[in-house]
Structure 1
Amino acid sequence: MALKKRALLLPVIATSVACTPFITAPCALADDYSDLLDILQLKGSLTKHEHDTLLAKHLSRTASASHAAPARAVQRPVRIASATTAERHSVHTARTVNSGYEAGIRFDPGTPDEASERAEMAASRAEASARSAQEAMLSTKDALNSNSIVRVDKYVPGKGLTFKAGPIDINFSGFVNGFYTYNSPAGGKPVAGGVSTGSSGFDSSSVRNGLLPAGFILKLSTTQSGIDMSAVLGMYPGVDNAKNGAFNANTGGSPVGLGTAGIDMRQVYVTVGTKEIGTFKFGRDLALFGSDAILNDATLLSVGSTGSNSAPGNTSLGRIGVGYVYADWIPQISYTSPKYHGLQGSLGVFQPLDEFNYAGDDASGRALSASSTQHSSPMVQGKGTYDFTIGGVQTRIWASFLLQRQQALTSPDLEAGSHRSAMVEAGEIGTKITYKGFQGVAYYYRGSGLGTTALFFDGIADNGRKRASEGYYVQAMYNFTKKFKLVGSYGVSNLYQAPGENSPLLVRRNQSEVGAAFYSLTDWLNLVAEYTHTESAAHGPNKESDNSASGGVILLF
């Protein structure tokens, strides 16, 4: 015990010697004690009240010492980390008595105190927690990339919902609409192949679909072995009763009790390709010829010409037959190239369609048009598009062609077994211009044997000769606000008689004027109000016209 006390007295003697006026070595200043108090408070060893009390006492003693004794040289640090509490008190008392002021205290950095141990333990726990959080984050990231996790992409209005199930993207999109339409015939006499209801003599009301039925489209996409591929199924049901007929779900409806709506499977196809090579399509989808004409038609989202409004089918006519020939959904094998500086091309072979006598019979009961159901070669269609922007004006120009041989034509004027055939040819060109809130569309087509309203409707006369046809439409749309826009359009479809033909009842001209207002109530829901005037004229004196007003909604998601 005596040895221990002597060991403790050595630092005290050293302190006394170090702080004599004859020693000039640097020592700790008296305010080291206040620094220590600050450190202990920061570490949590002292409360604020304890800190303030000790600091006030220290300052009081320091002030008293400064008046009672002259300035002294400072002392070297005293190592007291291994002393007991009583021994530390003895050293502190000796230093106070011998030096005349309360000496500064320093900790031995090699011997951690209780607060340091707590700090080290807290740091260790924080490090372990951070390591655990990082491991959890990596585990979560691996789980999200797992094929067993289904994720949802950010929703973009009009682009549908996209789910990612491992390497497969599942997109579900569609639209639903409903309109009240009032059609008022303006009179006239029937026109064979006309689209006006003017000669019906009765006003009609309907709750119906517009040019679009409802649509639910499912698309599955993935990449395997570097090849992009997709499968698409598009179901297009209507709201009105279906009726069996040549046009299937597009036949005029049957507004009779116990009826059911029609289901129209328009799209069933797969695509295969790469960004460098292009895309191949196999299955049923919208054809190339006439596709841009209908997709840019504003009546696609409304009603347009009503067709059979008293017994509505899956769709109205829109501007079909009054500005362009319906592109149709046709089985095909087609190819679309990659886009190069805005240029893109498509080419394909398609299921050949029959020549159809849509106009019916004349007054004597003879067919006005020839028919054909024999096809040894496919229909061929091709299209090119060019997209560019100049000075803020976005422009698209497109052009396409169609070829199909109609074989073994039949009609009362053609001898049985004559094997009469005709090569159908058609071409089109159009442009769409967008500048700020304005959008304009201009379109023109011409065909030989193409017919009018739909592909190969009344394209060939009963004498086996091809009829020429042409048509166009112009459209202007302006967005007054982000939600409100007005549209106006005018279109014409002409069908000319074949050489040597005299069919006064046959339609010569279908035309319409359309005005519509659209208001986007939400990203999904659009309100629509529309007025349409439709006229049909025959090669003889017959004419008819009608007016219709429609209002409703279309929801797109």
Structure 2
Amino acid sequence: MSANVGIGVSVATGSSIAQNNDVDVRQAYLSFGNDGMGTVKLGRDYGLFGFHSIISDMTLIGVGAATNATQNGRVSLGHIGSGYTFPGMYGQAVYTTPNMGGFSVDLGLMSPTNNLSTAKKDNLQFQARATYAGQGFKAWVGAKTQKYDGVGGFTMNAGEVGGSVNAGAFGLLANYQGGKGIGILADGDQGGVKGNNLLLQGTMQAAQNVKLGLGYGRSKNDSAFTGSDLRSNENLTAGVYYNLTKSVTLVGEIGQTRSKGFSGASAKQNSVAIGGILFF
């Protein structure tokens, strides 16, 4: 049995006099089970689809694409929108099978999402994931679906496949997502457009306390409603991660993000990021 509540706090905004005390409760759930029956989780947590890719992304503790996104002063993007769609946070009921020689299956019933404002949100979302984890190796496949009714309605159907391997000082990660209504940042945020995401990452443990990494991500829409719609985002990030102590990791990154539209317009952003993270 366990329970978890995660609270994120804003630390940087565009105002020097605002309270800066907004909090973001993304996780609030309980779980119970045993080796024989598996595990049941009830509450609010990240989704199954895309979770393995984001949790393995080296930029999770860094910055990646240095863009304000939807939460100015709160979070950076990493490779969200340029490598994978955000796993999302859902009210959910998830069953995880017992571990069967490294193989497990997760089945989830998620609260409806409504990231496309013209669609109703009265249809539950279903997610599923199968994972195999061995010595230094992990592979997964996942899927999600939800029907969006109303004006511009569509059915989101998306799948993913990925894997990671660690051999000695080297690590590799690859993940691919695709489907109708998968969205750039979140479920269905581009309507019923077909799209795909690709994430590739390589890391090297250069010294006992130093890890080097290079990550590339691309998110692409296959079609558009209007000529000004987004065609693709790409991000390339190189990072150095130094474990100062068991609890403190210092981070340095350089990166470039490129965006293209169906109209032919394009934009480029170069970024440098330095900072640290405390684990406790």
Is this a same-fold pair by TM over 0.5?
Answer: yes
Q: Which residue pairs with 1:450 in the alignment?
A: 182
Match of 1:403 among 112, 121, 145: 145
How far apart are the structure 1 equivalents of 2:27 and 2:181?
A: 27
Name the structure 1 match of 2:198: 472
| Aligned equivalents of 1:479, 1:267: Cα separation in 2 | 32
Sequence identity (%): 29
Distance 1:258 1:509, change over 3 A: closer
**Residue 296 of structure 1, CA deviation:** 0.6
Over aligned residue pairs, what C-alpha RMSD do you find?
Answer: 1.5
Equivalent in the alignment of 1:538: 261
Q: Tell me, yes or no, if structure 1 residue 352 matches structure 2 residue 112.
A: yes
Equivalent of residue 88 in structure 2, options 322, 325, 328:
328
C-alpha separation in 1, matches of 2:199 and 2:49: 16
* CA deviation profile, 1:194-240 (whole Å, cap 9, x unmatched): xxxxxxxxxxxxxxxxxxxxxxxxxxxxxxxxxxx222111111212
Q: How many Å separate the matches in 2 of 1:542 and 1:523?
A: 46
- 1:124-143 aligned at under 5 Å gives the runs none
Partner of 1:270: 30
Q: 1:552 aligns with which of 268, 271, 275?
A: 275
Note the C-alpha offset of 1:535: 0.5
1:256: Cα distance to partner? 4.3
| Residues 455 and 374 of structure 1, relative CA distance in 2, 3 Å threshold | closer
Q: Aligned residue for 1:379? A: 125
> In structure 1, what is the Cα distance between the partners aligned to 2:116 and 2:268?
25
Aligned counterparts, 1:90-489, within 5 A: 229-241=1-13, 254-308=14-68, 312-356=72-116, 371-375=118-122, 377-389=123-135, 394-409=136-151, 421-458=153-190, 460=191, 466-489=192-215
List runs of 5+ in structure 2 lacking aligned partners.
Answer: none
Instruction: Return the offset for 1:455.
Output: 1.7
Partner secondary structure for residue 104 of structure 2: strand
For the 8 Å contact 2:239–2:251, the answer to whether it is kept is yes
Pairwise CA distance, 1:449:
1.6
Counterpart contact for 1:302–1:528, Cα < 8 Å: yes
Equivalent residue letter for 2:150 = A
For residues 329-362 of structure 1, give each alpha carbon's deviation from its aligned partner in whole angstroms, at most 9, with x where no partner exists: 11100100111011000001000100426xxxxx
Report the Cα offset of residue 372 of structure 1: 1.0
Look up the SS of the partner of 2:6 in the other structure.
strand
TM-aligned CA deviation for residue 308 of structure 1: 2.2
CA apart distance, 1:261: 2.9
Q: 1:259 to 1:382 in 2, by over 3 A?
A: same
Residue 522 in structure 1 maps to residue 248 in structure 2: no
- The amino acid across from 2:8 in the alignment is Y
Partner residue in 1 for 2:234: 511
**Contact 1:240–1:262, Cα closer than 8 Å, also in 2:** no
Q: For 2:32 and 2:134, locate their aligned partners in 1 and report how far apart those are by CA, in whole Å.
A: 27
Structure with higher helix content = 1
1: CA distance, partners of 2:91 / 2:256? 34
Aligned residues: 279
**1:497 maps onto 2:245 in alignment:** no
Runs of 4+ in structure 1 over 3 Å off: none
**Cα deviation digits, residues 156-200 of structure 1 (max 9, x gap):** xxxxxxxxxxxxxxxxxxxxxxxxxxxxxxxxxxxxxxxxxxxxx
**Alpha-carbon distance between aligned partners in 1 of 2:18 and 2:174, rounded to the nearest angstrom:** 44
Provide the C-alpha distance between the structure 2 equivalents of 1:489 and 1:355, rounded to a whole number of angstroms: 28
* Other structure's SS at 2:53 match: helix
Listed as ranges, the matches of 1:78-89 within 5 Å are: none
Query: What SS does the aligned partner of 2:173 have?
Result: strand
Residue by residue, what CA displacement relative to the aligned partner does 1:239-281 show, whole Å, maximum 9, x if unpaired?
124xxxxxxxxxxxx4241332320111111112121000111
Aligned residue for 2:60, secondary structure, equals: helix
Displacement after TM superposition at 1:324 (Å): 0.2
Question: Equivalents in 2 of 1:329, 1:449: separation in Å?
Answer: 17
Q: Aligned to 1:300, what secondary structure does the other structure show?
A: helix
Report which of the two structures shows the higher radius of gyration computed on alpha carbons.
1
Any gaps of 5 or more consecutive residues in structure 1? 1-228, 242-253, 358-370, 411-420, 461-465
| Separation of aligned partners in 2, 1:288 and 1:352 | 14
1:72 corresponds in structure 2 to none
Q: What is the distance in 2 between the residues matched to 1:454 and 1:350? A: 14
Between 264-273 and 344-353, the greater mean CA deviation after superposition: 264-273
User: Is the 2:174–2:199 contact (alpha carbons within 8 Å) kept by the matching residues of 1?
Assistant: yes
Letter in 2 for 1:507: L
Take 1:231 and 1:308, find their aligned partners in 2: how far apart are those partners?
A: 31
- CA distance in 2 between counterparts of 1:505 and 1:259 reads 37
User: Structure 2 CA distance, aligned partners of 1:399 and 1:258?
Assistant: 44
Read off the aligned partner of 2:132 and give its amino acid letter.
Answer: Y
Q: State the match for 1:108 in structure 2.
A: none
* Structure with more of its chain in strand, by fraction: 2
TM-score (norm 1): 0.49
